[in-house]
Structure 1
Amino acid sequence: MQPFQHPPLQHTQRAQQQVREGLAEEERQARKRKKRFKILGVGLVVFMIWAGTKWTAQTEEIVKRQEELEMVQAQVDQAEEEQMELVYQVRRLHDKDYIAEIARSQLFLSRPGEMIFVPGE
Protein backbone atom coordinates (compact mmCIF):
# COMPACT_ATOMS: atom_id res chain seq x y z
CA MET A 1 0.00 0.00 0.00
CA GLN A 2 1.07 3.42 -0.85
CA PRO A 3 0.70 6.24 1.58
CA PHE A 4 -2.10 8.74 1.00
CA GLN A 5 -1.05 11.60 -1.20
CA HIS A 6 -2.72 14.92 -0.97
CA PRO A 7 -3.84 16.46 -4.24
CA PRO A 8 -1.89 19.46 -5.30
CA LEU A 9 -2.82 22.58 -3.37
CA GLN A 10 -3.62 24.58 -6.46
CA HIS A 11 -6.06 21.95 -7.65
CA THR A 12 -7.86 21.93 -4.29
CA GLN A 13 -8.14 25.70 -4.20
CA ARG A 14 -9.66 25.72 -7.67
CA ALA A 15 -12.23 23.12 -6.62
CA GLN A 16 -13.09 25.17 -3.54
CA GLN A 17 -13.42 28.28 -5.71
CA GLN A 18 -15.78 26.44 -8.03
CA VAL A 19 -17.86 25.24 -5.09
CA ARG A 20 -18.04 28.80 -3.73
CA GLU A 21 -19.03 30.13 -7.15
CA GLY A 22 -21.68 27.43 -7.46
CA LEU A 23 -23.06 28.29 -4.03
CA ALA A 24 -23.02 32.00 -4.87
CA GLU A 25 -24.92 31.30 -8.11
CA GLU A 26 -27.49 29.23 -6.22
CA GLU A 27 -27.89 32.06 -3.70
CA ARG A 28 -28.43 34.56 -6.55
CA GLN A 29 -31.01 32.28 -8.11
CA ALA A 30 -32.75 31.88 -4.74
CA ARG A 31 -32.80 35.67 -4.26
CA LYS A 32 -34.25 36.11 -7.75
CA ARG A 33 -36.98 33.56 -6.97
CA LYS A 34 -37.77 35.30 -3.69
CA LYS A 35 -37.95 38.65 -5.48
CA ARG A 36 -40.28 37.21 -8.12
CA PHE A 37 -42.52 35.72 -5.45
CA LYS A 38 -42.60 39.04 -3.58
CA ILE A 39 -43.53 40.91 -6.75
CA LEU A 40 -46.15 38.30 -7.58
CA GLY A 41 -47.50 38.48 -4.01
CA VAL A 42 -47.72 42.26 -4.08
CA GLY A 43 -49.40 42.13 -7.49
CA LEU A 44 -51.88 39.57 -6.20
CA VAL A 45 -52.68 41.69 -3.14
CA VAL A 46 -53.16 44.79 -5.30
CA PHE A 47 -55.43 42.83 -7.64
CA MET A 48 -57.49 41.47 -4.74
CA ILE A 49 -57.93 44.97 -3.31
CA TRP A 50 -58.99 46.30 -6.72
CA ALA A 51 -61.39 43.39 -7.28
CA GLY A 52 -62.84 43.81 -3.79
CA THR A 53 -63.52 47.50 -4.28
CA LYS A 54 -65.09 46.86 -7.68
CA TRP A 55 -67.27 44.08 -6.27
CA THR A 56 -68.37 46.29 -3.38
CA ALA A 57 -69.19 49.19 -5.69
CA GLN A 58 -71.16 46.95 -8.04
CA THR A 59 -73.04 45.37 -5.15
CA GLU A 60 -74.01 48.81 -3.86
CA GLU A 61 -75.14 49.82 -7.35
CA ILE A 62 -77.25 46.67 -7.68
CA VAL A 63 -78.92 47.31 -4.32
CA LYS A 64 -79.61 50.92 -5.33
CA ARG A 65 -81.11 49.81 -8.66
CA GLN A 66 -83.27 47.19 -6.94
CA GLU A 67 -84.65 49.82 -4.57
CA GLU A 68 -85.40 52.10 -7.53
CA LEU A 69 -87.08 49.20 -9.33
CA GLU A 70 -89.26 48.42 -6.31
CA MET A 71 -90.25 52.09 -6.04
CA VAL A 72 -91.12 52.31 -9.73
CA GLN A 73 -93.00 49.00 -9.55
CA ALA A 74 -95.07 50.37 -6.65
CA GLN A 75 -95.88 53.46 -8.74
CA VAL A 76 -96.87 51.26 -11.67
CA ASP A 77 -99.12 49.16 -9.43
CA GLN A 78 -100.78 52.30 -8.06
CA ALA A 79 -101.27 53.71 -11.57
CA GLU A 80 -102.83 50.42 -12.70
CA GLU A 81 -105.24 50.50 -9.76
CA GLU A 82 -106.20 54.10 -10.58
CA GLN A 83 -106.68 53.16 -14.22
CA MET A 84 -108.96 50.27 -13.26
CA GLU A 85 -111.00 52.59 -11.02
CA LEU A 86 -111.30 55.16 -13.80
CA VAL A 87 -112.36 52.52 -16.32
CA TYR A 88 -115.00 51.33 -13.85
CA GLN A 89 -116.27 54.90 -13.37
CA VAL A 90 -116.43 55.49 -17.13
CA ARG A 91 -118.46 52.29 -17.59
CA ARG A 92 -120.83 53.37 -14.82
CA LEU A 93 -121.24 56.81 -16.41
CA HIS A 94 -122.54 55.08 -19.53
CA ASP A 95 -125.29 53.45 -17.44
CA LYS A 96 -128.52 55.52 -17.47
CA ASP A 97 -129.67 54.23 -14.08
CA TYR A 98 -126.40 55.35 -12.47
CA ILE A 99 -126.68 58.79 -14.08
CA ALA A 100 -130.24 59.10 -12.74
CA GLU A 101 -129.05 58.10 -9.27
CA ILE A 102 -126.34 60.79 -9.33
CA ALA A 103 -128.85 63.37 -10.57
CA ARG A 104 -131.17 62.60 -7.68
CA SER A 105 -128.57 62.38 -4.90
CA GLN A 106 -126.19 65.18 -5.84
CA LEU A 107 -128.24 67.57 -7.98
CA PHE A 108 -131.64 66.99 -6.33
CA LEU A 109 -133.32 66.39 -9.69
CA SER A 110 -136.46 64.30 -9.90
CA ARG A 111 -138.49 62.42 -12.43
CA PRO A 112 -141.79 63.85 -13.55
CA GLY A 113 -144.33 63.41 -10.76
CA GLU A 114 -141.72 62.79 -8.02
CA MET A 115 -141.28 65.00 -5.01
CA ILE A 116 -137.94 65.46 -3.30
CA PHE A 117 -137.79 65.83 0.44
CA VAL A 118 -134.67 67.24 2.02
CA PRO A 119 -134.33 66.37 5.70
CA GLY A 120 -134.14 69.41 7.93
CA GLU A 121 -131.18 70.23 9.98
Structure 2
Amino acid sequence: MGLKKDKSAATSEVTSIRNDYVRSVERQEKRQQAHKVRLFRRLTVFGLLVLMASVWIGITVYNQSQTIAEKEQARAESLAALEQVEKEQAQLQEQIMLLNDEEYIAKLARKEYFLSDEGEIIFTLPKEEGENKEKAAEKE
Protein backbone atom coordinates (compact mmCIF):
# COMPACT_ATOMS: atom_id res chain seq x y z
CA MET A 1 0.00 0.00 0.00
CA GLY A 2 2.80 2.33 0.60
CA LEU A 3 3.87 2.02 -3.03
CA LYS A 4 0.55 3.22 -4.38
CA LYS A 5 0.65 6.36 -2.30
CA ASP A 6 4.15 7.10 -3.48
CA LYS A 7 3.20 6.64 -7.15
CA SER A 8 0.14 8.90 -6.95
CA ALA A 9 2.13 11.53 -5.16
CA ALA A 10 4.87 11.22 -7.75
CA THR A 11 2.50 11.61 -10.70
CA SER A 12 0.92 14.75 -9.34
CA GLU A 13 4.34 16.37 -9.05
CA VAL A 14 5.31 15.50 -12.61
CA THR A 15 5.15 18.43 -14.98
CA SER A 16 4.33 17.95 -18.61
CA ILE A 17 7.01 18.39 -21.19
CA ARG A 18 6.38 21.29 -23.52
CA ASN A 19 8.29 20.36 -26.59
CA ASP A 20 7.28 20.27 -30.27
CA TYR A 21 6.14 16.65 -30.16
CA VAL A 22 3.80 17.19 -27.20
CA ARG A 23 2.32 20.30 -28.81
CA SER A 24 1.73 18.48 -32.10
CA VAL A 25 0.02 15.62 -30.24
CA GLU A 26 -2.19 18.12 -28.40
CA ARG A 27 -3.08 19.84 -31.70
CA GLN A 28 -3.88 16.45 -33.23
CA GLU A 29 -6.16 15.62 -30.29
CA LYS A 30 -7.89 19.02 -30.62
CA ARG A 31 -8.39 18.42 -34.37
CA GLN A 32 -9.85 15.00 -33.66
CA GLN A 33 -12.16 16.44 -31.03
CA ALA A 34 -13.26 19.24 -33.41
CA HIS A 35 -13.79 16.62 -36.14
CA LYS A 36 -16.00 14.59 -33.79
CA VAL A 37 -18.06 17.70 -32.95
CA ARG A 38 -18.49 18.59 -36.65
CA LEU A 39 -19.40 14.98 -37.44
CA PHE A 40 -21.98 14.96 -34.66
CA ARG A 41 -23.45 18.24 -35.95
CA ARG A 42 -23.61 16.92 -39.53
CA LEU A 43 -25.28 13.71 -38.38
CA THR A 44 -27.77 15.71 -36.32
CA VAL A 45 -28.66 17.94 -39.28
CA PHE A 46 -28.93 14.92 -41.56
CA GLY A 47 -31.13 13.15 -39.01
CA LEU A 48 -33.41 16.18 -38.76
CA LEU A 49 -33.68 16.34 -42.57
CA VAL A 50 -34.56 12.64 -42.70
CA LEU A 51 -37.14 13.13 -39.95
CA MET A 52 -38.71 16.11 -41.74
CA ALA A 53 -38.79 14.18 -45.04
CA SER A 54 -40.40 11.20 -43.28
CA VAL A 55 -43.06 13.40 -41.71
CA TRP A 56 -43.76 15.08 -45.07
CA ILE A 57 -44.04 11.71 -46.82
CA GLY A 58 -46.31 10.39 -44.07
CA ILE A 59 -48.63 13.39 -44.30
CA THR A 60 -48.74 13.09 -48.10
CA VAL A 61 -49.58 9.37 -47.93
CA TYR A 62 -52.28 10.04 -45.33
CA ASN A 63 -53.87 12.81 -47.41
CA GLN A 64 -53.79 10.65 -50.53
CA SER A 65 -55.41 7.75 -48.69
CA GLN A 66 -58.17 10.09 -47.48
CA THR A 67 -58.71 11.34 -51.04
CA ILE A 68 -58.84 7.77 -52.34
CA ALA A 69 -61.36 6.80 -49.66
CA GLU A 70 -63.58 9.77 -50.57
CA LYS A 71 -63.40 8.88 -54.25
CA GLU A 72 -64.21 5.23 -53.50
CA GLN A 73 -67.25 6.33 -51.53
CA ALA A 74 -68.37 8.63 -54.36
CA ARG A 75 -67.82 5.77 -56.81
CA ALA A 76 -69.96 3.42 -54.70
CA GLU A 77 -72.73 6.03 -54.55
CA SER A 78 -72.50 6.56 -58.31
CA LEU A 79 -72.69 2.81 -58.94
CA ALA A 80 -75.78 2.57 -56.72
CA ALA A 81 -77.39 5.46 -58.61
CA LEU A 82 -76.45 3.84 -61.92
CA GLU A 83 -78.02 0.56 -60.85
CA GLN A 84 -81.22 2.36 -59.88
CA VAL A 85 -81.32 4.22 -63.21
CA GLU A 86 -80.73 0.97 -65.10
CA LYS A 87 -83.67 -0.65 -63.26
CA GLU A 88 -85.84 2.34 -64.11
CA GLN A 89 -84.71 2.14 -67.73
CA ALA A 90 -85.58 -1.55 -67.85
CA GLN A 91 -89.06 -0.78 -66.47
CA LEU A 92 -89.52 1.96 -69.07
CA GLN A 93 -88.38 -0.38 -71.85
CA GLU A 94 -90.91 -2.94 -70.64
CA GLN A 95 -93.61 -0.28 -70.59
CA ILE A 96 -92.68 0.72 -74.16
CA MET A 97 -93.01 -2.91 -75.22
CA LEU A 98 -96.43 -3.11 -73.54
CA LEU A 99 -97.57 0.14 -75.17
CA ASN A 100 -96.80 -1.39 -78.56
CA ASP A 101 -99.33 -4.16 -77.75
CA GLU A 102 -102.88 -3.18 -78.79
CA GLU A 103 -104.54 -5.42 -76.19
CA TYR A 104 -102.62 -3.71 -73.40
CA ILE A 105 -103.55 -0.27 -74.72
CA ALA A 106 -107.20 -1.27 -74.85
CA LYS A 107 -107.08 -2.62 -71.30
CA LEU A 108 -105.30 0.55 -70.09
CA ALA A 109 -107.87 2.79 -71.82
CA ARG A 110 -110.74 0.86 -70.25
CA LYS A 111 -109.16 1.15 -66.83
CA GLU A 112 -108.07 4.82 -66.96
CA TYR A 113 -110.85 6.38 -69.05
CA PHE A 114 -113.71 4.06 -68.10
CA LEU A 115 -114.18 2.89 -71.68
CA SER A 116 -116.06 -0.31 -72.23
CA ASP A 117 -115.96 -3.16 -74.66
CA GLU A 118 -119.08 -4.07 -76.60
CA GLY A 119 -121.62 -5.49 -74.23
CA GLU A 120 -119.79 -4.40 -71.06
CA ILE A 121 -121.36 -2.21 -68.40
CA ILE A 122 -119.14 -0.12 -66.13
CA PHE A 123 -120.12 0.29 -62.52
CA THR A 124 -118.57 2.75 -60.11
CA LEU A 125 -118.76 1.92 -56.49
CA PRO A 126 -119.53 4.75 -54.07
CA LYS A 127 -117.40 3.25 -51.29
CA GLU A 128 -114.20 4.07 -53.16
CA GLU A 129 -115.15 7.72 -53.38
CA GLY A 130 -115.96 7.80 -49.65
CA GLU A 131 -112.68 6.09 -48.81
CA ASN A 132 -110.77 8.54 -51.01
CA LYS A 133 -112.38 11.49 -49.19
CA GLU A 134 -111.53 9.95 -45.79
CA LYS A 135 -107.92 9.35 -46.85
CA ALA A 136 -107.66 12.94 -48.10
CA ALA A 137 -109.07 14.22 -44.79
CA GLU A 138 -106.57 12.10 -42.83
CA LYS A 139 -103.65 13.47 -44.84
CA GLU A 140 -104.65 17.04 -44.10
Q: TM-score range by the shorter chain?
A: 0.7 to 0.9
Question: Does residue 86 of structure 1 match 2:120?
Answer: no
CA distance in 2, matches of 1:78, 1:115: 41
Q: How does 1:71-110 map to 2 (within 5 A)?
A: 71-110=77-116
Aligned to 1:47: 53
Q: TM-score, normalised by structure 1?
A: 0.83
Q: TM-score, normalised by structure 2?
A: 0.72
CA deviation vs aligned residue, 1:68-87 (integer Å, no higher than 9, x gap): 11111111111111111100
Percent identical residues: 25
Aligned to 1:4: none
Higher relative contact order (Cα pairs below 8 Å, separated by 6+ residues)? 1
Aligned to 1:116: 122
- Structure 1 residue 18: deviation in Å? 1.2
Aligned to 2:44: 38
Q: Secondary structure at the match of 1:41?
A: helix
- Structure 1 residue 29: deviation in Å? 1.2
Question: Does residue 64 of structure 1 match 2:88?
Answer: no
Q: Secondary structure at the match of 2:19?
A: helix
CA deviation vs aligned residue, 1:65-119 (integer Å, no higher than 9, x gap): 1111111111111111111110011101111111121122222211223322334
CA distance in 2, matches of 1:120, 1:64: 56
Aligned to 2:5: none
Task: Number of aligned residue pairs: give it.
Answer: 111
CA distance in 2, matches of 1:37, 1:12: 36
CA distance in 1, matches of 2:20, 2:76: 83
Query: Which 5+ residue runs of structure 1 have no aligned equivalent?
Result: 1-10
